[in-house]
Amino acid sequence: MNTITTGSNDLKQLKLAIEGKGFKWPEQYITGAEIKKLGGIDAESDLYLSISKPWKDELIENDRRINLALPEVEQFFVKNDLRYTINGVEFKSNKQFINGKQLRAQGTIPDGDVLYLLAEKNWEDNLIEDDEWVDLARPGKEDFVSRSPTYCIVINTRDFDWNKRTITYEEVVRLAHPDFNPDSCIYTVKYTNGPKQNPQGSMSAGDFIYIKNKIKFHVTPTNKS
């Protein structure tokens, strides 16, 4: 068994390795948080347990308990920092995943702007919502950019430019019918090809929805009786 005996009190200690450096631990189990503290690793870093090929190394959460009394010395490590850019400024992270909200805070992106992950040439860039997680460990370096919102929306088969991330029922109707008078006419508004927040549905007075490029609206008037 992976133990050593020290001193007259017969204290048994278990060996482990953190970032290639040997350590000893007096108990059978150790948590991810304790491993990080022992090895001087930031508590927010992603910690991994080395696994023999062809199996993947195992991510160890802070509250995960690891049994050190198994054969062989357990090897723990933190992967190299992952690099990415936001509007041309380079950042690095010791965590594999980052979400849109964290990216916006790091890049001090104004609330009205939208955030994109750049795609290969001739392909549409990927819109990153605040709650969307991005894997920074994919091949290549991720480049994020923020832009003022510019969308093409389709209303009754006609294209309109729109520069906000949301649109109201009244704004849709006024684009379709500039002479819109809510006192004399009501309108049925339906939409398809929307973003994940509202992929399809209908709108009534006072409603608003999120939009994306080529969202399609169908607006029909109905005279009030």
Residue 92's identity, in one-letter code, is K
Structure confidence by residue, pLDDT tens digits, 146-167: 998 888 999 999 999 998 889 9
Please tell me the predicted confidence (pLDDT) of residue 118.
94
pTM: 0.57
Domain ranges across the chain: 3-78, 82-147, 151-223
The answer to whether the 3-78 and 151-223 domains have the same CATH topology is yes
Q: Is the pLDDT of residue 184 over 70?
A: yes
CB 143 within 8 A of CB 118: yes
Backbone dihedral angles phi then psi of residue 157, each to the nearest 5 degrees: 70, 0
Its CATH architecture, for the domain 151-223, is Roll (3.10)
pLDDT digit string (tens) for 26-82?
Answer: 999 999 999 999 999 989 889 999 998 888 889 999 999 999 999 889 999 998 888
- Strand (E) or helix (H) holding 167: strand 166-168
Pick the CATH number of 3-78 from 3.40.50, 3.30.70, 3.10.20, 3.30.700: 3.10.20
